[in-house]
Structure 1
Amino acid sequence: MVDKARSQGRDMKQLLLELFTWWNGQTMGTRFFTWRKGTKVGEDQFGNIYYEGGTTTFGLPRRWVIYKGYADASTIPAGWHGWMHYRTDVPPSKEDYKAAEWQKPHRANATGTANAYRPQGSIAVAGERPRVTGDYDAWTPGN
């Protein structure tokens, strides 16, 4: 009985998220459009699902992704990015796509998180800013 109530609570939460947010997976409009016109093309290693169906105003096949969790375009790997932007007509799921040896593995954009890049001297980095060299002296309040 408790498990059924939890399941219904999760279903209700998902319904409300689809109704009122666009950044949590898909909206109701996207769900309906996908149901009507979408054909699943593939899925990436992050759980994002890619679809194709209908046509754009330019006559190209419409392509879209339903993100697993938070909608963040930086979670689309390079092979799928190329397919989404019409650089190739063959999706990575239909070919033996392998990244070139010089390509680094995909990393999501960390901006705004604790893992974001913070250069030396940033106020977000512990410690003191390095002393300026050369003919420039940094202004210090009270001097």
Structure 2
Amino acid sequence: MWNVLNENPALAFLAGTVVLLAALALLLWRFAHGVRRSLRALAAQTRRDNAQANQTLSLLTQSLGDAAAQLTRASEAAGADQEKLRLALETQMEQMRKSVDSRLQTTLEARLGESFRAISEQLERVHRGL
């Protein structure tokens, strides 16, 4: 066979080209096989990453919902505390108003009594002087 190739250079060139093409096809097949294997591994990793991201998102969503509920409860409690404080302050203000009114009434009655006494005494002196 080597004699035929040595006698016909075109045939030798063609045989060399066929061998090179076969080697290239084998390398290309191995490369494609490696790429497919890498793509499958990458797809599997992507699925795992997506599952983990979905789980994390679910946990974050639940945590956010819990925090929102807790904030709502705290807001409602603060509103109730404010209402209690307002009612207590109203009660205190009413008691203070009654106390001030009572003191003013007592002071007014005392001063009016003193004024009437003074006027009575003056009228009595005037009456005696007449």
TM-score after normalising by structure 1: 0.17
Q: Which has the higher strand share?
A: 1
- Computing the radius of gyration from Cα coordinates, the structure with the larger value is 2
Greater RCO, 1 or 2 (C-alpha within 8 Å, sep 6+): 1
Q: Which has the higher helix share?
A: 2
